[in-house]
Chain A
Amino acid sequence: MQRITSELPYLDQAGHVYVPLAGPARSCLKLNRHASRIWREALRRPVDLEDLPAPDRDFLLGLTRRGVLHTAPAPEGG
């Protein structure tokens, strides 16, 4: 299980998640509805990335590679 956190504060407002500095040329990235849902769920509680559908996992891993998200093994029971 992985605990996923966001490096920077983000905004979840009006149905979308907005991620600062994550867009082209460090613009603010507005996630579409589906991606917003994935983001919310991934950050709410520890997730097993292997269990996610491939596109959703790739989306999260992509953000992790770019330093937007941090992943760390979740502590036991947590």
Chain B
Amino acid sequence: MGPPTQPAIAFVNPSVGFSDRRKSKPIGLAYIMAYLEKHGFPSSGFDFGDSEDDAVELAGTYGLDRFDVVGFSVYNESLRAAVAMAGWIKSRRPDCLIVLGGPHATAVHEHILRRHPCVDVVVRREGEEAMLELVRGLGDRARLTGIRGTTWRAPDGSGDDGSGDDGSGDDGSRGGGDDSSGGTGTGTGAVGLLVNKDRDLVPDLDQIPFPDAEFTSHSGYPDLTYYDEVQGRLKAALTICSSRSCPYNCSFCGVLTIGRTYRSREAERVVAELFHFRERHGVTYEHVYFSDANFFVSPARALEVAEALYEADPRVTFSFGTRVNQILKAAEVLPRLKECGLRFIELGIESASEPVLERLAKHVKPEVNMAAVRLLRRLGIEISLDFIMLDPATTLADIRANMEFLREAGFYDYVPHDHLYTALVLYEGTPIRDFYARRFGVVFDPDDLPNPFALFELTEVQRFSDTLRAFRKQWQGRIDRALAQGELALASLGDDFAEDGSRRDGPPEVGSRRAGSPGYGEGFSRMSHARLQLDVVSLRHAPNLLAERLLTDAEAGFPLLDRGGLEALLPCPGHDGVPLHDLIARTEAMAREAGCARAPDAVGPHGRD
């Protein structure tokens, strides 16, 4: 029986086992699905991105063996889940074409085909056009295996005869990963494989449809929101990708695997996408999270997008990610961006240590980080911090530089505290992974992501990291909960007062010094309000103070830790220097008193996730 003329196609975002980020639709897959749909090939999407369920069970529950073609989007973390699902599908439906794509699949395409027989083909780099050719040509397997940008197992095991290239991308992208000797024309490294030439990246992003696709998910999607402090309200938010790739070359970056040619969209198409999804979902999206790898490559274009959004609807606010040197280079554009609704920038600071910045190939000095932070603060543009506290060769001096930076730059007040606990992840296809493989004299298994918390060269750094993680495990959840309750209580108390401090619905009482003065509810005094404010600040500081104390102890050879364990390092923060445990209990009690305590999992209004 030949293949169906209208094949049943599915795309799956397999699980990474957890997600440390807020769940949102897999944009890359949505682009591919919309592209196929436009060309007459509808497909079904499944998003199990953060599921903790068994992969095979999920495949069974959602009937993934119903399809003629199943494409998986593969991250480093999700390869195993993808392969488990693919194996199950193949065992029940051997003629199903199993396609892998995405950053990790691109990086180790040859390895995947060698090690995992259930995978038929890897689509390297961007998937729209290659995928369309695949579904169009299903009937002719011989033609199929010649599609550009794809890698196959050779049917007779003969391998590449020279039609391929090394998968390292003619635009300098990093695809090719572990087996970059493969398919260079001699075929030695790629014996048994057909590595077809790279396909050009989508040249004009405005020619492809908006990423409009539906996904079935095990857990649904939370409404994407943004709490706009300026306008004082929660807004429905939409993620838009207005450009692809990035002209920089940071050694740890997983984006460049897909291709290094930066391309951007026209401002009016970005606005059109916002209105398209408003209408499609019946939701008035009023904040745009730009998911671009680097939105600010061209400040002039960034301004065009911002002005177009503002003109279309001045209520719309937006945020984006970029690197520090660009902030400084385009300082003159920032005030206008702010006028047009820019609320925060996700800033790739990564480290404050010069040697680490060099390893990460950031090509910026620590002073540039500080200057960019100061500039944004001056302009009143919020910063969302991208930071890598530790990498395998980190020294205590590097950590000291990081802590000093965080303190100097005012990030002790910053939440969430995740940046304190981050360690560099060595993604396949990134130069830093190769750097460490060489340095350690090892070959990392391409199926595995080395545990970033077990790679430290220095025992004192390992111990620092272990102790910090122990603190996180024991205390961070409690701190977060108390903070959420405290902040919520303060927010609701704050709502009762106008800018000048007067009670919104009562007479002004500037300078009032009486505890229990009018303006506070039953049993909650002005003094309690003041104390709660200070305790919330202290809770924000607490993990930083712990990290500082731990670092000082590490520098002295861990005398305190040896004697008293983690307990001995816990800070006593607050205006009256209370033990952390008491500070948490006191904050929760005061929040309750203020009448705003919530269920333990409730969170207060927040800017972004």
Contact = CB atoms under 8 A, between A and B. Distances in A.
A65 B510 CA distance: 10
B149 interface: no
A67 to B, nearest CB: 3
Contacts of A28: 533-534, 536-537
A66 interface: yes
Interface in B67-121: none
Nearest to B532: A20
Q: Which of A10, A14, A28 has the most chain B CB atoms closer than 10 A to its own CB?
A: A14
Given A14-B412, A20-B533, A20-B534, A7 B545 contact: no
A15 B500 CA distance: 27
Given A11-B574, A14-B412, A20-B534, A25 B497 contact: yes
A12 B573 CA distance: 10
A12 B407 CA distance: 14
Interface stretch (B130-138, B187-195, B523-531): B523-531
Interface in A1-40: 7-15, 18, 20-21, 24-28, 30
B498 A25 contact: yes
B552 to A, nearest CB: 14
Nearest to B526: A21
A67 B511 contact: yes
B257 interface: no
B543 to A, nearest CB: 12
B498 to A, nearest CB: 6
B575 A9 contact: yes
Contacts of A7: 513
Given A7-B513, A8-B527, A30-B413, A24 B499 contact: yes
Interface string A35-73: 000000000000000000000000000000111000000
B512 interface: yes
A27 to B, nearest CB: 6
A63 to B, nearest CB: 11
A14 B501 contact: no
Given A9-B576, A20-B534, A14 B497 contact: no
A65 B576 CA distance: 26
Interface residues of B, number: 32
A69 to B, nearest CB: 11
Main secondary structure of the interface of B (DSSP, over half): helix
Contacts of B499: 24-25
B13 interface: no
B150 interface: no
Contact of B575 (A11, A15, A21, A27): A11
Nearest to B503: A26
Contacts of A66: 510-511
A46 to B, nearest CB: 21
Contacts of A26: 493-494, 497, 501, 529
B544 interface: yes
B544 A14 contact: yes
Contacts of B174: none
B538 interface: yes
Contacts of B575: 9-12
Contacts of B537: 11, 13, 18, 28, 30
A24 B407 CA distance: 24
Contacts of B493: 26
A13 B573 contact: yes
B513 A20 contact: no
Contacts of B197: none
B538 A11 contact: yes
Contact of A9 (B501, B513, B530, B545): B530
Interface in B546-579: 573-576
B407 A15 contact: yes
A69 B299 CA distance: 46
A28 B396 CA distance: 34
Contacts of B408: 15
B512 A67 contact: yes
B417 interface: no
A14 B573 CA distance: 10
Contacts of A11: 534, 537-538, 574-575
Contact of A14 (B494, B533, B545): B545
Contacts of A27: 494, 533
B541 interface: yes
Contacts of A25: 494, 497-501
A20 to B, nearest CB: 4
Contacts of B510: 66-67
A67 B498 CA distance: 17
Given A14-B545, A67-B510, A67-B513, A20 B529 contact: yes
A14 B407 contact: yes
A18 B531 CA distance: 11
Contacts of A10: 534, 575
A65 B501 CA distance: 14
A21 B537 CA distance: 13
Contacts of B501: 21, 24-26
Contact of B531 (A14, A20, A24, A67): A20
Contact of B530 (A14, A21, A24, A30): A21
Q: Which 3 A-B pairs have the closest CB atoms?
A: A67-B511, A20-B530, A28-B533
16 contacts: A8-B527, A9-B534, A10-B534, A11-B538, A13-B573, A15-B407, A18-B533, A18-B537, A20-B530, A21-B501, A21-B529, A24-B499, A25-B501, A26-B529, A28-B537, A67-B511
Interface of A: 7-15, 18, 20-21, 24-28, 30, 65-67
Interface of B: 407-408, 412-413, 493-494, 497-501, 510-513, 526-527, 529-531, 533-534, 536-538, 541, 544-545, 573-576
Given A13-B538, A67-B513, 5 more contacts: A7-B513, A14-B407, A18-B533, A28-B537, A30-B537
